[in-house]
Structures are given as structure tokens and as C-alpha cells.
């Protein structure tokens, strides 16, 4: 069983495509959860899910509105440096995610294999070496930290997606986007690669 997480909307973002992806991709083998854009509540919910489910893999999703590509993250750093408050009004700056944790964690996903599989299907995908210092990096680090503490060595990591074209068409400014069907297909391909790698 794979745990798939996305986020609710935040700040001036009207909606978050990752919440749609979670809803569309839930199946008998995929448990979906839309996390709050809150450092405290996301942490509590994520840790509870991982400890209760003991998943065979974890894939966290987030929105990166800068480019119309799928970004597979390779590194999560032990730092919160929030440029804006979360949805609870909290804005930690220069704070470690876990004072007892390592400086960083590397993704446990087959990152390069996912990129290759996506490109073979004509989907623009790239490896990324920075998940930022906001909620996306936070959730990636917390996922890997929780699994590490539990001694669970399973595929886990983070993928950033752009706006869906459907969402972009309703916005007042031009933003990079991909059709929701393309983004959904990309994440399904990633899930398939993860499943294959975990059973190899």
C-alpha cells in the first residue's frame, strides 16, 4: 500500500492541483490524504498516518507554480525558513525541522527512473535538488525522518507539479501549467515505477 499526500490551497493560491490528484488516484493500493498547509497540523497528521498505516511507500506531492514541468525532488533539508505564514498564521524562520535530525535526507524514491519513464511518455520531467524551505520541504523531511525513526526503509519522497491548465485558465495572470490529465498520468507513472522498484 502506498500513502499519497497532497496539500490544500494557501495564501493567494485559489486551489491546489495536488488535492485533485490525491482524490483521482486513490485506489485499493493507494491511500490518499490532503494535508493542511500548517507546520504543526501537517506534522501531526503525517506522522500519525505513517505510524498507523506502515506503508510500503510514501509519495508526497506539492505545487511548484514556476515552471510547466514535473520536478522529482532529491533532497530535503532540516530547515524551515517560511517566506509567508502558513494557514494557521505561523511563520518560522531559521528553525530546524528536527533539532535531533540530520542536516538533510535524500529521497528514497527511484528518482532517475521516474524521470526517464515520464520523458519516455513525452512528459517534461526533471530532477530537482531543492524542495525549498516551506511546507513541501518540511513534509518531505518529516516523512523521511519518521520512516528513519521507525526503521522503515521504504521508497519515499516528493514530487512537485505545476498548475493544471484548467486552474490556469481561471486565473487573472499567466502562469505555467500542464493539463490535469497529463499531471495525473505523470503521477500514475511515478506510482507504477515506485511499485515496481519496491517489489524488485
Kindly report, residue by residue over 9-56, the tens digit of the pLDDT: 766 676 788 998 999 899 889 999 999 999 999 999 999 999 999 999
Kindly report, residue by residue over 45-77, the tens digit of the pLDDT: 999 999 999 999 999 999 998 889 999 999 999
136 is known as an active-site residue: yes
**pTM of the predicted model, to two decimals?**
0.94
pLDDT, position 199: 65
What is the rounded CA–CA span in Å between residue 140 and residue 147? 11
Of the listed 23, 24, 136, 166, which one is catalytic? 136
Residue 139 in contact with residue 42, Cβ under 8 Å?
A: yes
Of the listed 47, 120, 160, 166, which one is catalytic? 160
What is the rounded CA–CA span in Å between residue 99 and residue 167? 38
Count: domains in the chain = 1
Residue 162, domain extent: 2-199
Here the cell at position 138 is 518540511
Of the listed 24, 52, 66, 73, which one is catalytic? 73
- CATH code assigned at 119: 3.40.630.20
> DSSP of 117-155, one letter per residue?
HHHHTT--EEEES---SSHHHHHHHHHHHHHHHHT----
73 is known as an active-site residue: yes
Amino acid at each position: 500500500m502506498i500513502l499519497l499526500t497532497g496539500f490544500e490551497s494557501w495564501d493567494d493560491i485559489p486551489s491546489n492541483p495536488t488535492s485533485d490528484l490525491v482524490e483521482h488516484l486513490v485506489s485499493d493500493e493507494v491511500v490518499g490524504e490532503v494535508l493542511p498547509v500548517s507546520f504543526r497540523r501537517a506534522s501531526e497528521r503525517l506522522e500519525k498516518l505513517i505510524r498507523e498505516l506502515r506503508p510500503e511507500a510514501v509519495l508526497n506531492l506539492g505545487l511548484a507554480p514556476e515552471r510547466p514541468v514535473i520536478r522529482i525532488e532529491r533532497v530535503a533539508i532540516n530547515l524551515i525558513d517560511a517566506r509567508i505564514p502558513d494557514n494557521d498564521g505561523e511563520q518560522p524562520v531559521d528553525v530546524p525541522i528536527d533539532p535531533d535530525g540530520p542536516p538533510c535526507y535524500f529521497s528514497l524514491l527511484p528518482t532517475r527512473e521516474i524521470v526517464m519513464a515520464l520523458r519516455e511518455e513525452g512528459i517534461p520531467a526533471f530532477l530537482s535538488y531543492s524542495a525549498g524551505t516551506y511546507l513541501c520541504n518540511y513534509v518531505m523531511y518529516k516523512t523521511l525522518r519518521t520512516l528513519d525513526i521507525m526503521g522503515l526503509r521504504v521508497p519515499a519522497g516528493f514530487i512537485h507539479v505545476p498548475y493544471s491548465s484548467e486552474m490556469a485558465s481561471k486565473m487573472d495572470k499567466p502562469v505555467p501549467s500542464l493539463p490535469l490529465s497529463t499531471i495525473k498520468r505523470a503521477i500514475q507513472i511515478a506510482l507504477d515505477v515506485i511499485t515496481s522498484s519496491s517489489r524488485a
